[in-house]
Amino acid sequence: MNFLLRNATLIDLGAPADVTADLAVRDGLLLPASELGSEEFQELEGCVVTHGFMDMHVHLRDPGQTYKEDMESAARAAHRGGFSDVLAMPNTVPPIDTPSRYLELMERAASIRQVRIHQSAAMTEGRQGRRMTDMEALAAVGVLAFSDDGSTPQDRHLMRDIMQAAAELQRPIIDHCENLSLSKPGVMHEGAVSRELNLPGQPRLAEESIAARDIELAQDTGCRIHLQHISSAGTVKLLREAKRHGLSVSAEVCPHHLFMTDEWCKTHGTNAKMAPPLREESDRQALLEALCEGTVEVIATDHAPHAAAEKARGWMEAPFGIVGLEAAVPLCLDGLVNSGRMSLRQLIDRFAAGPRRLLNLPLEPVATGSPINRLTLLLPEAPHVIRVANFASKGRNCPYDGWKCLGHPFFIESTENPE
Ligand SMILES: [Zn+2]
């Protein structure tokens, strides 16, 4: 399908000003409107064309749990959600912890055209938190970053060895901060709501104590660390402090921690169960502030598909996590930009530039001649309703069904990248 993008706004973060122009999409390429000839096309008014968004925290469930999601369904979900790139976490079955597993996955990923799939590798064998993986060999075959996401080594000595290796290899550690001796057996945030629901809670300290430990180790080793899905005001404080001391520490926040609190656990059942848990309004406000001022540099979804039967097991048994790829951009356009909290340029920075800065990937210019799948198109003020039943993801575990948003990504169905 070809398109005429009338009065489109090109936003390139490397250019001093936005450009308004008539553009075309033909055969999967962004072109000047003058290139459209006699072929059939659809018209689209007032579209924003910008750098491809990257979600640096996605669970493909592939290999091993493809009843939850697979590479193809996740790629379709990412494409529809406005993303050109995803970084997959290595907690698959088996985990991505050897060069051969990494290369096998990347070979399959190379046949996916709609989005570019990047894969992180585990930092401990089997993600068991006991023995380091061969990080040098993994880096040599192209691994960009290391993570045991889902958990983190509890042993401080081992974590120091890992960070020393990562520093030498110049790769970041992507850190799921959770002190298991404090978080278990909690299934939600520890506070008034967990007491009301009579459910075991996870204190903020479960996250903050590991964030503090790893910031200390990053200072000691010179390792670059990225704190995943931060949820508490205390972690924001630690992050701010670390940055003030000039340490290479960054962080991401997930839309669910920006737009929901533990109150949602009363009404949304296990679709409000995630790790780290939804916390309190004061935490939410601290995260919003940190994201807007740039202390938190990345928005990531922690897209975590699960089967409906698994999420139906009740609060104590259901797995943690929700899907995010097809909801994140509408939620953020509505709740961050159209609400007046941040500019569209700032949002583009958090979705497109932040992850690439951390992963040492180039931010490609927004220019005619680019494959449309490498860019993100937005209709920043168009009304949109999040409909879980329409998701391309196999996961239906999402608390936002029926949410009305102003603004959504625009995707061009079944576009293949021209070779
Ligand atoms: Zn995690």
φ/ψ of 406, rounded to 5, equals -100, 115
- pLDDT tier, 1 (very low <50, low <70, confident <90, very high otherwise): confident
* Centroid of ligand 1 to alpha carbon of 266 (angstroms): 23
Can you point out the beta strands (E) in 27-161? 29-32, 42-45, 48-51, 53-58, 83-88, 116-119
And the tokens for 389? 């039943």
Average pLDDT over residues 108-114: 95
* Centroid of ligand 1 to alpha carbon of 149 (angstroms): 5
* Centroid of ligand 1 to alpha carbon of 176 (angstroms): 5
3-state helix, strand, coil in the chain (%, to 5): 35, 20, 45
Contact (CB, 8 A) for 330 and 384: yes
Instruction: In whole angstroms, give the CA distance from residue 128 to residue 383.
Output: 45
Structure-model confidence comparison of residues 113 and 300, the more confident one: 300
- Position 136 scores a pLDDT of 98
100 by DSSP, 3-state: which?
Answer: helix
DSSP H helix total and E strand total for the chain:
14, 16
What are the tens digits of pLDDT across the range 73-95? 999 999 999 999 999 999 999 99
pLDDT at residue 417 above 90?
A: no
Contact (CB, 8 A) for 257 and 280: no
* Centroid of ligand 1 to alpha carbon of 71 (angstroms): 19
Global confidence as pTM:
0.97
Average pLDDT over residues 223-228: 98
> Which single residue is written with the structure tokens 């998701």?
391
359 by DSSP, 3-state: which?
Answer: helix
Q: Residue type at 213?
A: R
> Which single residue is written with the structure tokens 């960070």?
163
Instruction: In whole angstroms, give the CA distance from residue 366 to residue 363.
Output: 9
All structural domains of the chain with their residue ranges: 52-360
- Catalytic residue set: 302
Instruction: In whole angstroms, give the CA distance from residue 403 to residue 120.
Output: 32
pLDDT at residue 132 above 60?
A: yes
User: If you average pLDDT over every residue of the chain, what do you get?
Assistant: 97
pLDDT at residue 414 above 70?
A: no
* Centroid of ligand 1 to alpha carbon of 275 (angstroms): 6
What are the tens digits of pLDDT across the range 284-297? 999 999 999 999 99
| Residues in Cβ contact with 140 at an 8 Å cutoff, skipping those fewer than 6 apart | 99
- Position 413 scores a pLDDT of 79
Peptide bond into 94 cis (omega under 30): yes
| Residues in Cβ contact with 91 at an 8 Å cutoff, skipping those fewer than 6 apart | 59, 122, 127, 148, 149, 150
What are the tens digits of pLDDT across the range 377-394? 999 999 999 999 999 999
* Centroid of ligand 1 to alpha carbon of 89 (angstroms): 9
Architecture of domain 52-360: Alpha-Beta Barrel (3.20)
State what percent of residues in the chain have pLDDT above 90: 96
